[in-house]
């Protein structure tokens, strides 16, 4: 019996409400000058007060030393073993732009890129062309008619797009055309298993047509495809936990992820305050809210320590909007660490705070990496978070006689 099956058996419908606030890339590393992490540097009186009363810990999203991508980090917090429940890059990208990916569709992550006169890749991201330009080119590519498969070309952001092939019997067992480096030509898409030949032919035909259509659009004069995948079939979050879940996320990928596990997507603005206002508006309609804040991660990825500090302070400043509603359980954590010093995701455990009237509490005076470790939850796996949230919301019945 895996964790989800166990929780499905124990979970029960109640009127209590859970808010899971994911502050993306929350964990950090100490600034060399001050010795303090982003979270330690930020002024966070509201979070600190909750930390003192709530249950704190440090989560490991996937496992010791493993740096998670965004999908495994979020899935783990929702209780899905990230080593078992995977999502292909293509599928994630497609659902992330609100595309209704259907059974049998094959999705790929695409890059508009630059190739030189010899056909060698000179820039895998076509100079990160504007979203406007990219959208225009995706529209052009969307006209490609493959005959054997219907084609959807979905602009995402800058050079990124998603390609969806819809047809009968298309396998997603395909190799990348993206060689993941410059100076070499794009690869042909190879069928990785017998039966994938039709899909490979369709993908290669798309690439050839795209090359022709884009030939005068340098720097975006070619495409690269990777992460061919079907829509995964993960257990429905609402059914497993007996919840009416809603997602408040502005950034496409997280919306896609939430949709894949069956959450209702709420329309929202992209600032933290707008997200919290969305929560207020829909508070009566659901009993589980996944609220995703992106800008902490974006600042960390940019290596901007100060901006990450301010983004954390922004969350803290508007947190009273959430507290006013009095959720039975409020969890504040991240899906992974994004230390500004590393300019990217990292493997470091993530501060975790669960606030409810049923916590032991005490001991942690400030919400940050070092204090959380001595909180009542210690070091925990991120996929334990959901069980803890349900338990503190009194949504889990007793196990065993």
Using CB under 8 A, pick the residue from 62, 174, 224, 315 that binds its own copies: 62
> 3-state DSSP call for residue 114?
strand
d(CA 375, CA 363): 6
d(CA 214, CA 343): 33
Residue 317 binds to its own copies (criterion: CB under 8 A): no
CB of 363 to its own copies, least distance (A): 6
Q: Which lies closer to its own copies via its Cβ, residue 147 or residue 326?
A: 326
d(CA 130, CA 135): 8
Residue 358 binds to its own copies (criterion: CB under 8 A): yes
Residue 334 binds to its own copies (criterion: CB under 8 A): no
User: 227 and 238 in contact (C-beta within 8 Å)?
Assistant: no
Residue 168 binds to its own copies (criterion: CB under 8 A): no
Residues counted in the chain:
401
Residue 397 binds to its own copies (criterion: CB under 8 A): yes
CB of 30 to its own copies, least distance (A): 6
Q: Which lies closer to its own copies via its Cβ, residue 96 or residue 238?
A: 96
Size of the site for its own copies (CB under 8 A): 64
Integer Rg of the chain from CA: 22
Residue 396 binds to its own copies (criterion: CB under 8 A): yes
Residue 61, both tokens: 């999203």
CA pseudo-torsion sign 10, 15, 21, 22: positive
Residue 123 binds to its own copies (criterion: CB under 8 A): no
β-strands 150-157, 222-229: how paired? unpaired
CB of 393 to its own copies, least distance (A): 10
Residue 67 binds to its own copies (criterion: CB under 8 A): yes
Residue 287 binds to its own copies (criterion: CB under 8 A): no
- By CB under 8 A, which span of 130-138, 199-207, 236-244, 371-379 interacts with its own copies? 371-379
Residue with tokens 């493993």: 66
Residue 177 binds to its own copies (criterion: CB under 8 A): no
d(CA 33, CA 339): 15
CA pseudo-torsion sign 167, 169, 172, 176: negative
Residues facing residue 379 across a β-bridge: 58
Q: Print the binding letters for residues 82-121 with its own copies: x by CB under 8 A, - otherwise.
A: xx--xxxx--x----------------x------------
| Residues in Cβ contact with 153 at an 8 Å cutoff, skipping those fewer than 6 apart | 110, 138, 139, 141, 142, 144, 161, 162, 163
Using CB under 8 A, pick the residue from 14, 16, 30, 104 that binds its own copies: 30
Per CB under 8 A, contacts with its own copies among 260-279 are: none
Distance of alpha carbon 386 from its chain centroid, rounded? Answer: 16
CB of 257 to its own copies, least distance (A): 10
CB of 332 to its own copies, least distance (A): 17
Residue with tokens 């974006």: 298
- Torsion of Cα atoms, 344 then 345 then 348 then 350, to 10°: 120
Using CB under 8 A, pick the residue from 44, 70, 171, 296 that binds its own copies: 70
Residue 219 binds to its own copies (criterion: CB under 8 A): no
d(CA 315, CA 311): 6
Residues making contact with its own copies (CB under 8 A): 1, 3, 6, 10, 29-30, 35, 37, 58, 62-72, 82-83, 86-89, 92, 109, 227, 342, 345-349, 358, 360-363, 369-370, 373-374, 376-381, 384, 386-392, 396-401
């Amino acid at each position: 019996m895996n964790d989800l099956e166990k929780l499905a058996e124990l979970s029960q419908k109640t009127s209590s409400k859970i808010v899971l606030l994911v502050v993306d890339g929350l964990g950090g590393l100490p600034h060399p000058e001050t010795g303090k992490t982003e979270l330690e540097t930020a002024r966070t009186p509201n979070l600190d007060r909750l930390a003192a009363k709530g249950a704190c810990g440090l989560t490991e999203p996937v496992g010791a030393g493993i740096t998670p991508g965004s999908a495994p980090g979020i899935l783990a917090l929702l209780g899905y073993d990230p080593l078992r429940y995977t999502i292909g890059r293509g599928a994630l990208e497609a659902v992330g732009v609100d595309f209704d990916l259907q059974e049998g569709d094959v999705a790929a992550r695409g890059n508009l890129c630059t190739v030189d006169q010899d056909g060698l890749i000179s820039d895998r991201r076509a100079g990160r062309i504007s979203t406007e330009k990219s959208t225009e080119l995706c529209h052009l590519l969307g006209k490609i008619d493959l005959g054997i498969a219907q084609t959807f070309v979905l602009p995402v952001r800058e050079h990124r797009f998603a390609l969806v092939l819809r047809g009968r019997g298309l396998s997603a067992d395909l190799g990348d055309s993206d060689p993941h480096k410059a100076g070499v030509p794009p690869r042909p898409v190879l069928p990785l298993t017998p039966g994938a030949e039709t899909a490979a032919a369709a993908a290669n035909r798309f690439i050839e047509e795209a090359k022709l259509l884009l030939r005068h659009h340098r720097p975006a004069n070619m495409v690269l495809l990777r992460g061919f995948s079907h829509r995964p079939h993960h257990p429905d979050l609402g059914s497993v936990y007996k919840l009416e879940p809603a997602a408040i996320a502005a950034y496409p990928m997280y919306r896609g992820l939430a949709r894949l596990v069956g959450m209702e997507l709420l329309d929202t603005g992209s600032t933290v305050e707008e997200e919290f206002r969305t929560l207020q508006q829909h508070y009566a309609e659901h009993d589980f809210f996944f609220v995703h804040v992106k800008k902490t991660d974006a600042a960390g990825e940019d290596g901007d320590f100060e901006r990450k500090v301010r983004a954390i302070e922004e969350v803290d400043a508007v947190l009273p909007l959430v507290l006013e509603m009095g959720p039975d359980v409020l969890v504040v954590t991240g899906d992974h660490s994004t230390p500004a010093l590393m300019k990217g995701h990292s493997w470091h455990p993530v501060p975790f705070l669960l606030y409810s009237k049923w916590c032991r509490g005490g001991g942690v005076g400030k919400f940050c990496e070092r204090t959380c470790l001595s909180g009542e939850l210690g070091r925990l796996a991120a996929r334990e978070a959901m069980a803890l949230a349900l338990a503190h919301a009194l949504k889990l019945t007793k196990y065993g006689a």
